Amino acid sequence: MYHFLGYDPIDGVYKVLCMIEGNPIGGKFGLAQELRVLTLGKENSWRLVEDFPQHFLDSLDAPDICINGVLYYKALLDTQGKNKAFMSFDVRSEKFDLIKRPELPER
């Protein structure tokens, strides 16, 4: 289970995003099985995020950052860890977006 803290500057609220990892199937990583959101100071229960791209954290020690109400972190899109991207989570709308990393030639 992994947590991220984001801030919505329009509504002036902090939200916690919780990622629950699924079991790895034939790979090194388990993709996110479930994502939940908690608005701090306004409610006492976690809300389930219904629609999100399949992904998992690229690195457990990679930092996440929240800029202008959008939380960003490095993500893996497959259980082998070969398809990488950046994930963005809009703290206000609670919607995800996928930003693919540029493909670099192999050396």
pTM of the entire structure? 0.81
Q: How far apart are CA 24 and CA 17, in angstroms?
A: 21
* 105 part of a folded domain: no
* 82 part of a folded domain: yes
Domain that holds residue 68: 2-100
The count of domains in the chain is 1
* 107 part of a folded domain: no
What pLDDT was estimated at residue 68? 96
- The residues with which 4 forms a beta bridge, in sequence order, are 17
* 22 part of a folded domain: yes
* 23 part of a folded domain: yes
* 74 part of a folded domain: yes
Secondary structure of 11-34 in HEC code, one letter for each residue: CCEEEEEEEEECCCCCCCCCCEEE
Average pLDDT by stretches of 10, the chain with 107 residues: 92 91 62 84 86 78 88 84 87 93 74
- 21, 36 in Cβ contact below 8 A? no
* 31 part of a folded domain: yes
* 24 part of a folded domain: yes
- 8, 28 in Cβ contact below 8 A? no
- What 16-20 contacts at long range (C-beta under 8 Å, 24+ apart), as own/partner pairs, is 16/40, 17/49, 17/71, 17/89, 18/46, 19/56, 19/57
- State both tokens at 86: 């950046």
